[in-house]
Chain A
């Protein structure tokens, strides 16, 4: 029983990784928006980098989610 409880706690702790992902995604879009408002002409050229940064950021948080699911179901 303690093992099951510890698994739950561990999986919950692993989801803290999503805090970093949230900060990162907010930073990506916030910085893009402030840059785009300063220089709207260059905004359209940076969409690729925006999406790339967003996806890389989001994936980092999802790695934590994978760890949580591994703890819950794989061990």
Chain B
């Protein structure tokens, strides 16, 4: 199980992370374009929270950084969930092989991790739908923030 070149797992991990990064950058790019189309240069008010001026010196860089790291956190969230699921499947697959080749009664026992793999696959299905949902919801939240800058209360 070498995560560097996981072609043997049927998933090229590097291609996956870049595909997800492209997807997330598309989302953030769309947020920026929509924000500037709706508000013009006033979109930059997104980075200025309601606070006294001496706090703004600290808060504006934080807001900018948190906005710019959104594509990374969006894509890494999805990627880490997929990677964790695949790693778990690979580990349990190793259990099946090791038990099956042990011979005797242990070979019969290898059915147990195989059944666990089915259960984990179902769990991963749930996680996949959940994370797709979260990606969509976060996209909506970011878009909503860009459309109604700070006046949503």
Chain A facing B: main interface SS:
helix
Contact with A along B85-102 (1 / 0, CB 8 A): 001000000000000000
Q: Which residues of B contact A65 (CB under 8 A)?
A: 80, 83-84
Q: How far is the CA of A51 from the CA of B77 in the complex (A)?
A: 14
Q: A52-B134, A52-B137, A55-B130 are in contact. Are A72 and B3 (CB under 8 A)?
A: yes
Q: Which residues of A contact B133 (CB under 8 A)?
A: 51, 55
**A45 sits at the interface (CB 8 A):** no
Q: How far is the CA of A13 from the CA of B76 in the complex (A)?
A: 20
Q: Which residues of B contact A59 (CB under 8 A)?
A: 73, 76-77, 80-81, 134
Q: Which residue in A48, A69, A72, A74 is a CB contact (below 8 Å) of B137?
A: A48
Smallest CB–CB gap between B147 and chain A, Å? 19
**B151 sits at the interface (CB 8 A):** no
Q: How far is the CA of A72 from the CA of B80 in the complex (A)?
A: 15
Chain A residue at minimal CB-CB distance from B4:
A73
**Contacts between the two chains (Cβ within 8 Å), count:** 44
Q: How far is the CA of A52 from the CA of B2 in the complex (A)?
A: 32
Q: What are 26 pairs between A and B in contact, CB < 8 Å?
A: A48-B137, A52-B134, A52-B137, A54-B130, A55-B77, A56-B77, A58-B81, A59-B73, A59-B77, A59-B80, A62-B77, A62-B80, A62-B83, A62-B84, A63-B76, A63-B77, A65-B80, A65-B83, A65-B84, A66-B76, A66-B80, A66-B83, A69-B3, A69-B83, A69-B87, A74-B4
